[in-house]
Chains A and B, each alone.
Chain A
Amino acid sequence: GAVVSQHPSRVICKSGTSVKIECRSLDFQATTMFWYRQFPKQSLMLMATSNEGSKATYEQGVEKDKFLINHASLTLSTLTVTSAHPEDSSFYICSAIRRVRYNSPLHFGNGTRLTVT
Chain B
Amino acid sequence: SQQGEEDPQALSIQEGENATMNCSYKTSINNLQWYRQNSGRGLVHLILIRSNEREKHSGRLRVTLDTSKKSSSLLITASRAADTASYFCATDVYPGGGADGLTFGKGTHLIIQP
Contacts and interface: CB of A to CB of B under 8 A. Distances in A.
A32 to B, nearest CB: 6
Interface residues of B, number: 29
Given A59-B101, A105-B33, A111-B42, 14 more contacts: A36-B104, A42-B106, A43-B2, A43-B106, A100-B96, A100-B99, A103-B50, A103-B98, A104-B97, A105-B45, A106-B90, A108-B43, A108-B44, A111-B40
Interface of B: 2, 30-31, 33, 35, 40-45, 48, 50, 88, 90, 92, 96-107, 109
Nearest to A104: B98
A47 to B, nearest CB: 9
A52 B53 CA distance: 32
A46 B103 contact: yes
B45 A43 contact: no
A44 interface: yes
Which of A42, A97, A103, A108 counts the most chain B CB atoms within 10 A?
Answer: A103
Contact of B99 (A32, A36, A43, A91): A32
A44 B44 contact: no
Interface in A80-117: 91, 93, 95, 97, 100-111, 113
Interface in A37-56: 41-44, 46, 49
A43 B98 contact: no
Contact of B41 (A42, A95, A105, A111): A111
A102 B33 contact: no
A66 B101 CA distance: 20
